[in-house]
Each structure stands twice: as structure tokens, then as C-alpha cells.
């Protein structure tokens, strides 16, 4: 692998948070929270992050930094079984990238349409905005154009390299993202009805918890933290040996969770204050919000800020997806491709799959499987609910059982610069050895319908 390291002390934290924070937080998290019962979902989500997500994040940073290899060979073992997590990570990131670019393209389209005025604000009713969204989804050529632009933008930063491309992008993008988020959240919470939304978000109603909500919360925590995708492993290969792994992981998981909550604090109050219902699902961001922006003071500016936020957040994630997929590809062909060749090969192949993804909103919309799921639905389900959790399971088993314990401790001590307490080790090892595997396996069994809980 490359001997490149993050230049700044914050380089890894910013890049890992950039990978983690994305459409998953700003587009998916608010609508999932509202669909799955507000506080109940938030509670389960936090639970999953603390007892499964965080330890796995530490595990992936550990694997990446100690091996300094792509996920294909980072699980160091002669047993070929350990090539599987890398292969799963490749398939997952390839698939995720193919549809993620399409949604990132919608965000770019909305940003451009807001600035140029082709998305008009202040229209009479919600259906005008849903027409705009439906027209976008129905127009293959628009989707093609904006998805293509997003691919080019992503390739530009990845080709520029680890320091001058990815690190630089994240150094500017992440602070910008936080500023926009805070401005928007303050505006949203102070709207009439804002406090009611806060209450909805934090009020725990245990009766809303069931297996579907648990699966959704677990899948979302993996997707959001980029666990099982190899992205964290790859970024950790560029991490200086002296940096504190526990601290870096805490920041990454903490910032990612904070952004999800802030995004929900933006979207839900806006919807509440206009008396709309929250059951919109994916359309919440692209239909309900533009309507609301059009009807609030300064809405035009807030709309630009919001869609800029989506684009920036998406870009720091697509960059991570392309970096990991092309690194695995290069490793798989034993470095016969150069870094740039591999980036181009992976981008072109993913774009080919994106062509099908775009079709699932229009020409291929009638082509459904498993009881009405489009290609888009099936691939999202396969990646978020099956492949990423399996990747996470592999990490838990590898660090918990395969990696020698002294190596784990040594790596966590970061060349002797960090003290790792007994309690921390106990928490990490118990969650990685027992808790995470049991929960992931139970969720898998329940998804496949083999066992009903």
C-alpha cells in the first residue's frame, strides 16, 4: 500500500467523519426516525452505536492501521475465508456507490435549480413540489446528467490523491458542513411548533419498538458509520502510528451521531411547524422541505444552504466509497493497475450499474422483484442490511478471536503514547466477542425469515 499518511493531526478524524456523515445522516436518518416512531428509533439507534457501532469502528481502525493493507488483505490470515470480508466490502461499496451517486445527483440538481430559480419557491401547495420531484425522477436524461457530474466531481478529488485531494476536501468541507447545520437547526427549532418536534424526537415510547424497527436501527447505524464497507479500514491505513485510535473513533462516531440528530432537528420541526405529516419517507427532503422553505422567511437562502449541505456531505462520502473500491480493485489485480487506472476502471463500471439504478425510477420502474422492490430497493437492502452487517461481523470475529490479544493492546497503545484501561478493554472485547456477533446473527436470521423473534 501507499506510504502516504494524513498530514494533519485531524486528517483522519475529518476524513473518517466525512465518509460517515453523508446522505445517510441528512436524507435517510430524519425520515427513518419519523417513519419508525421518533424517540423509540433514536433510542435504539443510539444503543446500536454505543454497544455495536463504536467497538466495530475501533476494530476497523485497528485492522487498517496495523496491517496497512486494503480490506482484501487487511484481515491477515492464511485461511482464504478471511479474503471474504474484503470481497463483501468491494461488492457493498460498488453497489452503494451506484445508487448513492444518483441521490447525490438529485441533491446537486436541487442546488442548481434553487440557485437558477428553476425550482420556484412559494408555490401554492405541496403537489407542485412533488411534481418537480416526480419530473426529475421521470427524466432519465436529467438523472444521467447530474449523476455523471457527481461521478466527475468525485473522481477529481480521488485522483488528486490522499493529501491534496481527499484530506484537503474534508478539511474545508467538514467545518462548512457544521456551520450550515447549526444555522439551519437553530432556524428550524425556533419555528412555531419547533419544540413539539424536539419532544417528538426525544420522547421514548417503548410500544413502538418491534423487530422491523430494530433491524432498521441496526442497518442504519452500520450504513451511517460506514462500517463493514472497508472505508474506515482504508482511511486508517493512512493513520500515523502514534494517533490515539480510541479518541479518533470516539470523535468519528460522536460527530456522525450528532449530525444525524441535528438533521432530524432541522427536518422534523420544519415539517411540524407547517402541520405536515411525517410519513413522506424518502420524499421528505425533496418534496416537503422545498415547500416549507418557500413558505418561510428567508427560505430561499435556507434552501440554498440546505442543498449545499447535502451536496457537500454526499461528496465526502462518495470520495470514500471510490477510494476504498479502487484500492481493493488494485489490490485484487496485484497492483497491475496504477492508482489512477484503478479509479477510472471502478468509476466506469459503477457508472454502468448506476445506469440501471436511474432506470428504476422510470423506464425500469415496472421491473420489480421480491414483492415490488425495484433494483434500487433491492440493492440498498442487500448492501445496508446484509453485506455491511456481515462485514461488521467479520471485524468483530477477527479482532475478538483471531488477532492475538497482545497485538490488539499494542495497537491501541499507539506506539506507547496511549494508556488503555482494563475497563475499556473489557468493554471492547466483550462487545466484539459476544455482543456484536450475537446481535448481527440474530438480525440476519430474522431478515432471512429463518427465525421469528
Q: Which of 421, 402, 433 is nearest to 66 (CA)?
A: 402
**19-58: which residues touch ligand PHE (CB under 6 A)?**
19-20, 22-25
* Three-state SS at 332: helix
Closest approach, Cβ 154 to ligand PHE, in A, equals 12
Closest approach, Cβ 385 to ligand PHE, in A, equals 13
Per rule CB under 6 A, is residue 233 in the interface with ligand PHE? no
Give the Cα separation of 228 and 209 in Å (integer): 25
Per rule CB under 6 A, is residue 245 in the interface with ligand PHE? no
324, 99 Cβ separation under 8 angstroms: no
- Comparing CB distances to ligand PHE, the nearer of 22 and 55 is 22
Per rule CB under 6 A, is residue 414 in the interface with ligand PHE? no
Among 173, 180, 278, 320, interactor with ligand PHE by CB under 6 A: 320
Write the CB contacts of 152 (distance below 8 Å, at least 6 apart in sequence): none
Give the residue nearest to ligand PHE (CB): 24
Per rule CB under 6 A, is residue 226 in the interface with ligand PHE? yes
**95-114: which residues touch ligand PHE (CB under 6 A)?**
96
331, 70 Cβ separation under 8 angstroms: yes
Per rule CB under 6 A, is residue 325 in the interface with ligand PHE? no
Dihedral, 306, 267, 263, 226 alpha carbons, nearest 10: -100
C-alpha distances in Å from residue 274, one per residue of 183, 203, 271: 19, 21, 6
Write the CB contacts of 10 (distance below 8 Å, at least 6 apart in sequence): 171
Give the Cα separation of 406 and 408 in Å (integer): 5
Which ranges constitute the DSSP H helices of 117-244?
A: 126-138, 140-159, 168-189, 194-202, 211-225, 231-236
Per rule CB under 6 A, is residue 432 in the interface with ligand PHE? no
Closest approach, Cβ 393 to ligand PHE, in A, equals 16
Closest approach, Cβ 392 to ligand PHE, in A, equals 11
Per rule CB under 6 A, is residue 408 in the interface with ligand PHE? no
- Comparing CB distances to ligand PHE, the nearer of 75 and 222 is 222
Q: Which residue has the cell 476504498?
A: 324
Per rule CB under 6 A, is residue 346 in the interface with ligand PHE? no
Span interacting with ligand PHE, options 6-14, 76-84, 317-325, 352-360, rule CB under 6 A = 317-325
Closest approach, Cβ 150 to ligand PHE, in A, equals 14
Give the Cα separation of 438 and 342 in Å (integer): 37
Among 66, 70, 229, 285, interactor with ligand PHE by CB under 6 A: 229
Closest approach, Cβ 404 to ligand PHE, in A, equals 28
Among 58, 218, 321, 343, interactor with ligand PHE by CB under 6 A: 321
Per rule CB under 6 A, is residue 436 in the interface with ligand PHE? no
- Comparing CB distances to ligand PHE, the nearer of 89 and 358 is 89
Give the Cα separation of 2 and 417 in Å (integer): 24
Residue 426's Cβ-count burial label (10 Å; 0-12, 13-18, 19+) is exposed
The residues binding ligand PHE (CB under 6 A) are 19-20, 22-25, 93, 96, 223-224, 226, 229, 231, 317, 320-321
Amino acid at each position: 500500500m501507499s506510504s502516504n499518511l494524513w498530514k494533519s493531526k485531524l486528517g483522519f478524524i475529518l476524513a473518517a467523519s466525512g465518509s460517515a456523515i453523508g446522505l445517510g445522516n441528512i436524507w435517510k436518518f430524519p425520515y427513518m426516525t419519523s417513519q419508525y416512531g421518533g424517540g423509540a428509533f433514536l433510542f435504539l439507534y443510539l444503543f446500536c452505536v454505543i454497544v455495536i457501532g463504536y467497538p466495530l469502528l475501533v476494530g476497523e481502525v485497528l485492522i487498517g492501521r496495523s496491517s496497512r493493507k486494503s480490506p482484501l488483505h487487511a484481515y491477515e490470515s492464511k485461511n482464504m475465508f478471511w479474503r471474504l470480508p474484503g470481497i463483501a466490502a468491494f461488492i457493498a461499496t460498488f453497489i452503494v456507490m451506484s445508487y448513492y451517486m444518483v441521490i447525490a445527483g438529485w441533491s446537486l440538481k436541487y442546488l442548481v435549480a434553487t440557485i437558477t430559480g428553476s425550482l420556484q419557491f412559494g408555490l401554492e401547495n405541496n403537489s407542485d413540489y412533488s411534481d418537480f420531484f416526480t419530473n426529475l425522477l421521470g427524466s432519465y436524461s436529467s438523472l444521467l446528467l447530474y449523476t455523471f457530474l457527481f461521478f466527475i466531481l468525485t473522481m477529481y478529488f480521488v485522483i488528486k490523491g490522499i493529501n491534496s485531494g481527499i484530506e484537503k476536501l474534508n478539511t474545508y468541507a467538514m467545518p462548512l458542513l457544521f456551520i450550515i447545520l447549526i444555522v439551519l437547526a437553530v432556524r428550524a427549532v425556533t419555528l412555531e411548533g419547533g419544540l413539539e418536534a424536539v419532544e417528538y424526537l426525544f420522547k421514548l415510547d417503548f410500544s413502538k419498538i418491534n423487530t422491523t424497527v430494530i433491524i432498521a436501527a441496526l442497518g442504519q447505524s452500520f450504513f451511517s458509520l460506514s462500517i463493514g464497507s472497508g472505508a474506515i479500514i482504508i482511511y486508517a491505513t493512512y493513520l500515523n502510528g502514534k494517533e490515539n485510535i480510541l479518541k479518533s473513533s470516539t470523535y468519528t462516531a460522536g460527530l456522525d451521531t450528532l449530525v444525524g440528530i441535528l438533521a432530524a432537528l432541522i427536518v422534523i420541526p420544519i415539517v411540524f411547524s407547517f402541520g405536515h405529516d411525517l410519513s413522506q419517507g424518502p420524499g421528505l427532503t425533496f418534496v416537503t422541505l422545498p415547500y416549507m422553505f418557500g413558505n418561510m422567511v428567508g427560505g430561499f437562502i435556507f434552501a440554498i444552504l440546505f442543498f449545499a449541505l447535502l451536496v457537500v456531505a454526499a461528496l465526502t462520502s462518495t470520495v470514500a466509497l471510490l477510494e476504498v473500491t479502487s484500492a481493493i480493485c488494485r489490490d485484487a489485480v496485484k497492483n497491475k493497475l496504477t492508482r489512477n487506472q484503478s479509479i477510472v476502471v471502478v468509476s466506469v463500471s459503477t457508472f454502468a450499474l448506476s445506469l440501471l439504478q436511474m432506470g428504476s425510477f422510470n423506464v425500469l420502474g415496472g421491473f420489480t422483484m421480491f414483492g415490488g422492490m425495484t433494483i434500487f430497493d433491492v440493492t440498498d437492502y442487500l448492501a445496508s442490511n446484509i453485506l455491511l452487517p456481515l462485514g461488521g461481523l467479520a471485524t468483530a470475529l477477527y479482532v475478538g478471536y483471531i488477532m492475538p490479544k497482545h497485538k490488539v493492546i499494542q495497537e491501541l497503545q499507539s506506539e506507547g503514547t496511549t494508556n488503555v484501561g482494563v475497563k475499556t478493554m473489557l468493554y471492547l472485547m466483550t462487545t466484539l466477542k459476544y455482543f456484536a456477533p450475537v446481535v448481527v446473527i440474530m438480525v440476519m436470521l430474522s431478515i432471512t425469515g429463518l427465525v421469528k423473534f
